Structure 1
Amino acid sequence: MNQERIYKVLLGPHVSEKASLVAESNQVVFRVAADATKPEVKRAVEQLFNVKVEGVQILNRKGKLKRTVRGFGKRDDLRKAYVRLAEGQEIDFVDVE
């Protein structure tokens, strides 16, 4: 996988209360591109962060419909990847080059 594709697959970490809860079970949550596949996410995380990935689960969240003054609006859809790291592996987002 080339370097350009790595940066297009992983859009960034997803920070939420649930993401901090699953971090205790050695998982990290990333926002990923709409066309990203599980093998692509696995290779991108392994190459970018130099860690061993055991598994990847991908979740698609549909954007909510919200009422506005001008009618209805729709929030953006979101695709997340829950990445399970091997024992003893961790990702420190502060120390990434």
Structure 2
Amino acid sequence: MDDKMHELEIRIQKLTQVHATDRVRQLISLLIKDIGEKTDASTIRIPCPLTTTDLARMAGTSRETVSHVLQKYKASGKLMIESKIITITDPAFFMR
């Protein structure tokens, strides 16, 4: 239990001490680790539908910032979003 609390404390510190765009990337990284499902050798799907408002609340930033960051990631081919389901096409980008 102590290890789990320490891990959660570190997660909170990471999400509160960086720029908003980095918090969105770190949030996606945490979602990959916690609930991500491999769909093939190079893609991971977040199986629950998430809105930009949901992501903004989790990352502690505005909906507009999340929307802007997600659009940037989609344009660069790092992820896809269909019916509020996020598919990560470049998991290594988010795991660094």
- Structure 2-normalised TM-score? 0.35
Which has the larger helix fraction? 2
Which has the larger strand fraction? 1
